[in-house]
């Protein structure tokens, strides 16, 4: 296109002015968009309950917090029953329960199974017994068998360890093993899985039930009815003492609580679960 003197110069100047105006408009538009983006408000979740679930929940919480830097999660292992009470009282957002909930407890609550755990029967490494039947286990914890020699071991007393009232592990053990009986009153009560494992590791007479994960040195699990509490046996459902790990919330969850539950059930969350526990999905 031909250009004639001053008319061409004016056209170029006008064109440049238009470009400058468009640029200023785009910059102002982007600035306005950036100005309207606000950081997500902080989210804090409180969880309490089963000591058996605490280490798994800490792993899941850490993974969730790394994804969403505005989220913080506190986890307090106080026992399944205390966790449920704290949920009903509005003190926590999620109760951690390491047993099935009967129908009367589920009223007004929402339960989500996230994993499966084996309850291991622990003895000292020096104990000669390697396996027990379900009946022998029931007889020991019911106080009917008092010597290790009665179940294939040495001529020495059996020292029984149990958990405190309100423990989900205790309730699951008594339901699966004791057939309506309580553990003998002569049992020493220990305040958690770790305490029971440590006691067994130091006492050759002792026997305890605890989560099969993180068994301390000096203690080992027995086979029950010929099956050990390894991850494969839990995953396939072959081990006889398997209990669920359950997240319990109010029927109407907040969006933040439901988002965390969804993460735990997601492929990413279940990969974390599956490293040491039976997966729910």
Q: Is the pLDDT score of 39 beyond 90?
A: no
Q: Give percent above pLDDT 90 in the chain.
A: 78
Angle between helix 267-274 and 54-67 (nearest 10): 150
14 pLDDT higher than 50:
no
Nearest Cα neighbor of 132 from 144, 116, 117, 150 is 150
Residue labelled with tokens 């029971």: 196
Q: How confident is the model at residue 164, as a pLDDT?
A: 92
Q: Report the pLDDT value the prediction gives residue 38, as an integer from 0 to 100.
A: 82
pLDDT score at 20:
53
The pLDDT of residue 151 is: 98
Q: Which residues have a Cβ under 8 Å from the Cβ of 275 and sit 6 or more positions away?
A: none
**Domains 43-117+244-279 and 118-242 are alike in CATH topology:** yes
Per the model's pLDDT, the better-predicted residue between 267 and 179 turns out to be 267
CATH of 43-117+244-279, one of 3.90.1570.10, 2.60.120.590, 3.40.190.10, 3.40.50.720: 3.40.190.10
Split at pLDDT 50, 70, 90, the class of 159 is very high
Give me the pLDDT at residue 28, please: 53
> Is the domain covering 118-242 a CATH 3.40.190.10 domain?
yes
Question: If you count DSSP H runs as helices and E runs as strands, how many of each does the chain have, helices first?
Answer: 10, 12
Place of tokens 């047993």: 99
The span from the CA of 24 to the CA of 22, in Å, is 5
Q: Cα–chain-centroid distance for residue 28?
A: 49
pLDDT at 180: 85
List CB contacts of 67: < 8 A, sequence separation 6 or more: 263
Of 107-116, 130-139, 260-269, the poorest mean pLDDT is in 107-116
22 pLDDT tier (thresholds 50, 70, 90): very low
Residue 104 has a pLDDT of 81
What token pair was written down for 122? 């622990």
pLDDT of amino acid 220: 98
Torsion of CA 129, 132, 135, 138, to 10 degrees: 70
Query: What's the confidence (pLDDT) of residue 52?
Result: 95
Size of the chain, expressed as the number of residues it contains:
281
pTM: 0.85
Mean pLDDT of 28-41: 63
Confidence of residue 274 (pLDDT cuts 50, 70, 90): very high
Domain boundaries, the chain: 43-117+244-279, 118-242
Joined together, the tokens standing for residue 118 give 């084996």
pLDDT for 5 beyond 70:
no
Give the tens place of pLDDT for each residue, 73-118: 999 998 999 999 999 999 999 999 999 998 887 778 999 999 999 9
pLDDT score of 8: 47
Instruction: Give 105: exposed, middle or buried? Use CB within 10 Å, 0-12, 13-18, 19+.
Output: middle
């Amino acid at each position: 296109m031909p250009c004639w003197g001053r008319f061409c110069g004016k056209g170029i100047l006008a064109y440049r002015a238009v470009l400058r105006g468009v640029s200023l408009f785009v910059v102002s538009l982007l600035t306005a968009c950036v100005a309207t983006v606000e950081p997500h408000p902080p989210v804090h979740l409180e969880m309490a309950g089963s000591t058996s679930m605490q280490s798994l929940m800490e792993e899941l919480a850490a993974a969730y917090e790394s994804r969403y830097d505005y989220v913080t999660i506190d986890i307090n292992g106080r026992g399944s029953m205390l966790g449920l009470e704290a949920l009903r009282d509005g003190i926590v957002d999620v109760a951690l329960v390491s047993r099935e909930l009967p129908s009367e407890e589920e009223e007004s609550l929402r339960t989500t199974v996230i994993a499966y755990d084996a309850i291991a029967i622990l003895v000292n490494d020096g104990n000669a017994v390697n396996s027990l039947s379900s009946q022998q286990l029931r007889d020991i914890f019911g106080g009917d068998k008092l010597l290790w020699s009665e179940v294939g071991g040495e001529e020495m007393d059996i020292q029984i360890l149990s958990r405190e009232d309100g423990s989900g592990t205790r309730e699951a053990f008594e339901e699966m093993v004791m057939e309506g009986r309580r553990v003998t009153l002569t049992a020493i009560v220990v305040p958690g899985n770790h305490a029971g494992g440590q006691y067994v590791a130091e006492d050759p007479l002792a026997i305890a039930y605890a989560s099969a994960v993180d068994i301390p040195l000096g203690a080992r699990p027995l086979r029950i009815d010929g099956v050990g509490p390894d991850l494969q046996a839990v995953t396939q459902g072959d081990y006889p003492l398997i209990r669920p790990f359950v997240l319990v919330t109010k029927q109407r969850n907040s969006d933040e609580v439901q988002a965390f539950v969804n993460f735990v059930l997601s492929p990413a969350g279940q990969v974390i679960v599956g490293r040491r526990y039976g997966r729910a999905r």
